[in-house]
């Protein structure tokens, strides 16, 4: 059997072109070669303030958008984290093996905590739940962007700590560094494009006019950059490489090198290229969401498959940790 891959995405809002280029596009290819589990990590999404009324809709939207972008329930196990309670059970047991210092050092925790009025323990413990997600399925490979490497390192540490404390049991999950780009915010190219930062992203559900409008407003260069390409323009090139044909990319690179690049022309071409790729995803997502019961059935069927693996792991973990009553 091929190696197992686990990956997750939070239902925190509109899945955007950063998620797509940095993760989803790659997952679509991986499912052809590996034994893949893709999880809508709804328990992760409540580590910051959220609207409970919209949660179900966001889970269905994330599921439909990923399927529309190419994830195939016939090839991969696609499910929601909250349908498999073993995730939180293992997370608690791993919490008891994790030092608070390691959690406090996490860059994402520090960044997200700075944006919160009150910081809940769930936000700090987020990487432990992520470790539980991965270890529960003994996934050998985890496709991650650079931003998630630090979290994965904790998963590896926890696997090692569990193995040395109890018995050699968990494989250490290795990162599968995606070749995908790190896309920055359109309104602020110094921080990454994020679902929860309004104005930073273009969603896979955005209509053509909205895409054009957002790209038109994207930050380019605030002023002279000492001969270096500014982060806003570099980000537009990252997007262009992700969505446009190579000859279009090369054309604009030449224009830039000759210092004759017109931002308006670059933006217009970029918006058109994005819309060409996004339109079929947008349409398929709409069709799927018109039948939410079918989307739920996909999640239930996926959870049933995931649970078979998760229950086996938990029964072995309980034994190893001494819970034998």
Report the catalytic residues. 112, 192, 195
In the set 66, 76, 148, 275, which binds ligand AQP (CB under 6 A)?
Answer: 148
The span of 76-84, 142-150, 161-169, 303-311 binding ligand AQP (CB under 6 A) equals 142-150
Instruction: State the minimum distance, in angstroms, from the CB of residue 232 to ligand AQP.
Output: 14
Instruction: State the minimum distance, in angstroms, from the CB of residue 203 to ligand AQP.
Output: 10
Nearer to ligand AQP, 65 or 148 (CB): 148
The span of 192-200, 218-226, 242-250, 294-302 binding ligand AQP (CB under 6 A) equals 192-200
Q: 118 burial class (0-12, 13-18, 19+ CB within 10 angstroms)?
A: exposed
Instruction: State the minimum distance, in angstroms, from the CB of residue 85 to ligand AQP.
Output: 20
**Which parts of 5-64 interact with ligand AQP (CB under 6 A)?**
8-10, 12, 18-19, 22-23
In the bound state, the residue with its beta carbon closest to ligand AQP is 22
Q: 46 burial class (0-12, 13-18, 19+ CB within 10 angstroms)?
A: middle
**In the numeric block, which tokens belong to residue 75?**
């090839």
Per DSSP, the three-state class of 49 is coil
Q: Does 151 bind ligand AQP (CB under 6 A)?
A: no
Buried b (16+ CB within 10 A) or exposed e, 227-237: eeebbbbebbb
Q: How many residues bind ligand AQP (CB under 6 A)?
A: 19
Nearest residue to 232 via CA among 246, 242, 241, 222: 222
In the set 182, 253, 277, 296, which binds ligand AQP (CB under 6 A)?
Answer: 182
Distance of CA 150 to the CA centre of its chain: 14
**CB atoms closer than 10 angstroms to residue 85:** 14
């Amino acid at each position: 059997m091929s190696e197992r891959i686990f990956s997750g995405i939070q239902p925190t809002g509109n899945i955007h072109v950063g998620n797509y280029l940095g993760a989803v596009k790659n997952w679509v290819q991986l499912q052809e070669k590996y034994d893949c589990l893709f999880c809508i990590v709804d328990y992760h999404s409540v580590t910051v303030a959220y609207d409970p009324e919209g949660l179900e809709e966001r889970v269905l939207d994330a599921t439909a958008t990923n399927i529309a972008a190419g994830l195939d329930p016939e090839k991969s196990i696609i499910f929601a984290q909250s349908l498999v309670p073993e995730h939180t059970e293992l997370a608690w047991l791993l919490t008891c093996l994790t030092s608070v210092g390691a959690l406090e050092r996490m860059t994402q925790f520090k960044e997200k905590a700075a944006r919160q009025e009150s910081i809940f323990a769930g936000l700090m413990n987020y990487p432990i739940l992520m470790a539980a997600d991965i270890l529960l399925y003994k996934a050998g490979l985890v496709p991650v962007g650079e931003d998630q490497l630090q979290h994965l390192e904790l998963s590896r540490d926890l696997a090692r700590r569990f193995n040395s404390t109890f018995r050699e049991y968990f494989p250490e999950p290795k990162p599968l560094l995606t070749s995908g780009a790190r896309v920055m915010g359109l309104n602020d190219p110094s921080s990454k494009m994020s679902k929860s930062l309004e104005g930073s992203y273009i969603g896979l559900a955005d209509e053509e006019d909205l895409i054009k409008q957002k790209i038109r407003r994207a930050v380019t260069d605030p002023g002279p950059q000492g001969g270096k390409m500014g982060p806003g323009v570099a980000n537009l090139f990252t997007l262009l490489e992700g969505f446009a044909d190579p000859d279009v990319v090369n054309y604009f690179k030449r224009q830039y090198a000759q210092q004759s690049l017109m931002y308006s022309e670059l933006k217009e071409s970029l918006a058109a290229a994005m819309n060409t790729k996004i339109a079929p995803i947008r349409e398929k997502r709409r069709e799927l969401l018109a039948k939410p019961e079918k989307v739920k059935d996909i999640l239930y069927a996926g959870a049933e498959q995931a649970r078979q693996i998760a229950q086996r792991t938990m029964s072995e973990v309980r034994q190893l940790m001494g819970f034998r009553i």
